[in-house]
Homo-oligomer: A and B are copies of this chain.
Amino acid sequence: MTTRTQLKAESLQRILDASASRLRQEGLSGAAIANVMRDAGLTHGAFYAHFASKGELAMAALRHALLGNRRRWIGELKHDSWMQRLQRLARRYLTKAHRDKPAEGCALAAVATEAARSDAAFRQAYEDELRKSLHAICCGSKAEAIPTDEHLDDAIAFMALSIGGISLARAVSDDAFSERILQACIAAAGRIASEPPHPDDH
């Protein structure tokens, strides 16, 4: 029984990889079933052996895209201050490499404006993934940790700044201007961290 189910699992993996790439590179409307299946080396008819509808695929692609990327981008907590952490994350996120390789980049940034016009199920999936990323920014991979309200607010603003920054850098035509957008957002990221309520706040 290994051959059959294993073959299907491999096909599913190729479909997920292809749809996650398409989703990030061409957005929700670009992740069309025919394109994705062709990328996966299959024909469009085979799609419905794996997903019930295009909406299901879109949600799976979003989750799949963020599964690998989150650890890669946000990674572990280091022993630096909260402000330094945000600045370090910004330097890692707001790069020309990230800007120019959307297919491997952040899916939350890729579909930010399209998600707003999607159905409730997709928006819920988007929210879930965003919350996971916010938690990882605050707490690294410590899943059971609970961030402070201040840190969570900072992380929210940091994500808005980063997603907005990478989107603007991609939307703009002039290369020097695009680079300036990235730099300006990196510089601002370090200033986002709230003043600690007490000077002895670690």
Contacts and interface: CB of A to CB of B under 8 A. Distances in A.
Interface stretch (A6-14, A44-52, A69-77, A167-175): A167-175
A167 B163 CA distance: 9
Interface string A99-136: 00010000001111111110010011011001100000
Which bracket fits the contact residues of A? 35 or more
Nearest to A164: B164
A interface, over-half SS: helix
A30 B27 CA distance: 14
A67 interface: no
Interface of A: 25-27, 29-30, 102, 109-117, 120, 123-124, 126-127, 130-131, 152-154, 156-165, 167-168, 170-174, 177, 180-181, 183-185, 187-188, 191-194
